[in-house]
């Protein structure tokens, strides 16, 4: 989604230093990486220790198991439940309500997508902090 299409929901942070510090603490507490001088450095070696991924993985497996065990009849007749379960399983991969990161393209991606696609040890510099109101 182009940033311009959601610009009415975005405002520049009134306290970017605080938000950057909070991001650094969050990365460290979740064993995902660290913040050095406005630069995110990820450490995927520690990702398996992270509650961030572990809880999502367990929920993903639970939902996928429920979906895998449905009957053909339920597949045909229970659209709402199936659609909700598909939404829930996709949320475990990329939660639309979590923090977003803008890469070079300027298109915001969820923190989950960023963490999975970013290269460990590559510095990712923070150019600004925005608050997104949905």
Segments of the chain scoring below 70 in pLDDT? 1-13, 129-134
Question: Is the model's pTM score more than 0.85?
Answer: no
pLDDT of res. 2 = 40
pLDDT of res. 64 = 97
54 closest CA partner among 91, 92, 96, 88: 92
pLDDT of res. 47 = 81
pLDDT of res. 81 = 97
Q: What is residue 130's three-state secondary structure?
A: strand
CB 131 within 8 A of CB 100: no
Domain range list for the chain: 16-127
pLDDT of res. 132 = 64
32 closest CA partner among 52, 7, 6, 16: 52
pLDDT, one tens digit per residue, over 75-101 is 999 999 999 999 999 999 998 888 888
């Amino acid at each position: 989604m182009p940033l311009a299409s959601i610009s009415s929901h975005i405002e520049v942070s009134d306290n970017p230093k605080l938000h950057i510090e909070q991001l650094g603490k969050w990365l460290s507490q979740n064993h995902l990486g660290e913040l050095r001088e406005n630069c995110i450095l990820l450490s995927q070696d520690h990702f398996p220790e992270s509650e961030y991924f572990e809880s999502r993985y367990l929920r993903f497996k639970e939902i996928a198991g429920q979906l895998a065990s449905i009957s053909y009849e339920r597949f045909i007749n229970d659209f709402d439940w199936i659609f909700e379960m598909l939404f829930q399983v996709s949320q475990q991969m990329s939660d639309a309500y979590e923090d977003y990161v803008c890469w070079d393209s300027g298109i915001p991606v969820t923190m989950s997508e960023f963490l999975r696609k970013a290269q460990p040890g590559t510095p990712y510099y923070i150019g600004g902090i925005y608050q997104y109101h949905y």
